[in-house]
């Protein structure tokens, strides 16, 4: 398992930031400091509920130079499998949680000559820490932050206080939207664009950058897909010799873990590739929900990302 060593933390502060987002501060239960990280990193929070264990990825939003606690922003998802509701409804100051060591899958490019950050809603969180790194450097940067309305702009005051005119906030409620074409159509060489937010926003930004002729090495995005629900199915784990039932509201990875089998993972959101698993046999279709495998790999039916993907079949055999 990739995270044999989790860190026990205690919730030291909880603050509502918007009607839907709460900020949690997590301090090491044993005292001292948490591991160093770079802006854009995330952790997995392990939540042990009454009936099941949730493991959700959250970006670290606290400044990377403050290691006595980590801060995360959790958006309450009404239609979800329960992780964010657990955080909102059951976690109190003093609650203990386990977290993994930080991993960064959304790095700033160190050689960039300009950074353009584009955030939608809760997608602001990785940028909060990244902008602390940028603020300390000399490379120009700007943040374009789109939210539903004024009451939803988490961190507004902090952002304006720390970054002033580098921030532009857009309110859907005022029909004020980011002009992505205008923004990406006329930038100096060496500019990098980073986007984190809803799937539609990411597609829009990546697509617009491509049309404007930007090469892939200058386009960065992060999206943690929550594992989609689906029909129940059965999986046989060949190496472990275990048969597992995957219920509709549990991911394949969660079902494998619940059966006591260690499977690799890092992001739990279909982006990093760590949980890629060989499919030995399938008599139906694989439902690929990840952003990692190429379309050829998806069509081949020989690999699956258990953190977000499922199957519609009567028989699935994995090399685990």
Partner 1 sequence: MLITGIKSKPVYAPLAADVGGRYHVLVGHGVGAEQLLRLVDELRASGGSSRASRRMLYATDLSAAPNAMATVREADVAHVRVFENIPALLEDFRTLLETSRMGTRLYVAGPEAFMGLVMRIANEFNLNRDEIRAEECGSRARRVHCIHCRAATESVTTNIVECSGCRRWLVVRDHYSRRLAAYMGVMVDAEMPGERPAVKDVFV
Q: Within 13 A of 314's CA, how many CA atoms are on the CB side?
A: 0
Region of residue 59 (phi > 0: left; psi between -120 and 50: alpha; otherwise: beta): beta
Please select the residue that binds partner 1; options are 5, 217, 294, 295, rule is CB under 8 A. Answer: 217
Helix axes 125-135, 156-163, angle to 10 degrees: 20
Can residue 138 be called a binding residue for partner 1 (CB under 8 A)? no
Can residue 95 be called a binding residue for partner 1 (CB under 8 A)? no
Q: How many residues does the chain have?
A: 320
Rounded-to-integer distance, Cα 42 and Cα 8, Å: 16
Choose the stretch contacting partner 1; rule: CB under 8 A; options: 111-119, 172-180, 196-204, 234-242. 111-119
User: Kind and range of the H or E element at 192?
Assistant: strand 191-196
- Cα torsion angle, 51, 55, 58, 63, sign: positive
Q: Tell me the backbone φ, ψ of residue 237, rounded to 5 degrees.
A: -95, 110
Please select the residue that binds partner 1; options are 30, 79, 111, 165, rule is CB under 8 A. Answer: 111
Can residue 218 be called a binding residue for partner 1 (CB under 8 A)? yes
Rounded-to-integer distance, Cα 43 and Cα 24, Å: 13
Site residues (CB under 8 A) for partner 1, limited to 286-315: none
Choose the stretch contacting partner 1; rule: CB under 8 A; options: 67-75, 81-89, 182-190, 239-247. 182-190
CB-nearer residue toward partner 1: 49 or 190: 190
- Cα torsion angle, 109, 181, 295, 316, sign: positive
CB-nearer residue toward partner 1: 51 or 215: 215
Rounded-to-integer distance, Cα 193 and Cα 181, Å: 13
Can residue 214 be called a binding residue for partner 1 (CB under 8 A)? yes
Residue 197, Cα to own-chain centre: how many angstroms?
Answer: 10
Choose the stretch contacting partner 1; rule: CB under 8 A; options: 14-22, 107-115, 146-154, 166-174. 107-115
Please enumerate in sequence order all residues whose Cβ is within 8 A of that of 24, keeping only pairs 6 or more positions apart, or say none. 11, 13, 14, 71, 72, 73, 74, 87, 91
Choose the stretch contacting partner 1; rule: CB under 8 A; options: 104-112, 155-163, 269-277, 303-311. 104-112
Minimum separation from the CB atom of position 184 to partner 1 (A): 7
Minimum separation from the CB atom of position 111 to partner 1 (A): 5
Please select the residue that binds partner 1; options are 186, 200, 241, 295, rule is CB under 8 A. Answer: 186
Q: To the nearest 10°, report the CA torsion of 105, 110, 116, 121.
A: 30
CB-nearer residue toward partner 1: 138 or 215: 215
The DSSP annotation for 130-150 comes to HHHHHHTSSS-EEEEEEESSG
Can residue 108 be called a binding residue for partner 1 (CB under 8 A)? no
Please enumerate in sequence order all residues whose Cβ is within 8 A of that of 224, keeping only pairs 6 or more positions apart, or say none. 42, 57, 267, 268, 269, 270, 271
Can residue 212 be called a binding residue for partner 1 (CB under 8 A)? yes
Can residue 113 be called a binding residue for partner 1 (CB under 8 A)? yes
Can residue 216 be called a binding residue for partner 1 (CB under 8 A)? yes
Please select the residue that binds partner 1; options are 19, 137, 190, 248, rule is CB under 8 A. Answer: 190
Please select the residue that binds partner 1; options are 191, 208, 250, 277, rule is CB under 8 A. Answer: 191
CB-nearer residue toward partner 1: 50 or 111: 111
Choose the stretch contacting partner 1; rule: CB under 8 A; options: 25-33, 213-221, 250-258, 301-309. 213-221
Can residue 170 be called a binding residue for partner 1 (CB under 8 A)? no
User: By the criterion CB under 8 A, which residues form the site for partner 1?
Assistant: 109, 111-113, 184, 186-191, 210, 212-218
């Amino acid at each position: 398992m990739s995270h044999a060593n989790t860190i026990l933390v205690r919730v030291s502060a909880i603050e509502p930031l918007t009607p839907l987002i709460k900020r949690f501060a997590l301090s090491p239960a044993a005292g001292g400091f948490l591991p160093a990280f770079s802006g854009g990193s995330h952790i997995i929070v392990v939540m042990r509920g009454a009936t099941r264990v949730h493991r959700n990825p959250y970006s670290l939003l606290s400044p990377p130079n403050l290691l006595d606690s980590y801060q995360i922003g959790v958006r309450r998802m009404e239609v979800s499998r329960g992780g964010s509701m657990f955080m909102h409804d059951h976690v109190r100051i003093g609650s203990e949680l386990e977290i993994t060591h930080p991993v960064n899958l959304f790095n700033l490019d160190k050689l960039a000559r300009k950074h353009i950050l584009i955030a939608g809603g809760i997608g602001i969180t990785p940028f909060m820490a990244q902008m602390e790194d940028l603020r300390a450097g000399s490379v120009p940067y700007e943040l374009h932050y789109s939210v539903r309305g004024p009451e939803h702009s988490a961190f507004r005051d902090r952002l304006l206080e720390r970054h002033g005119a580098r921030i532009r906030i857009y309110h859907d409620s005022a029909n004020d939207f980011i002009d992505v074409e205008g923004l990406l159509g006329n930038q100096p060489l060496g500019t990098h664009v980073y986007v984190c937010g809803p799937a539609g926003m990411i597609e829009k930004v990546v697509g617009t950058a491509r049309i404007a002729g930007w090469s892939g090495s200058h386009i960065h995005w992060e999206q943690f897909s929550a594992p989609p629900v689906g029909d129940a199915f059965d999986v046989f784990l060949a190496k472990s010799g275990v048969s597992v039932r995957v219920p509709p509201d549990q991911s394949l990875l969660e079902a494998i873990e619940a059966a006591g089998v260690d499977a690799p993972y890092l992001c739990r959101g279909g982006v990093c590739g760590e949980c890629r698993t060989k499919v030995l046999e399938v008599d139906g279709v694989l439902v690929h929900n990840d952003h990692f495998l190429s379309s050829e790999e998806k069509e081949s039916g020989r690999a699956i990302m258990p953190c977000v993907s499922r199957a519609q079949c009567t028989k699935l055999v994995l090399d685990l």
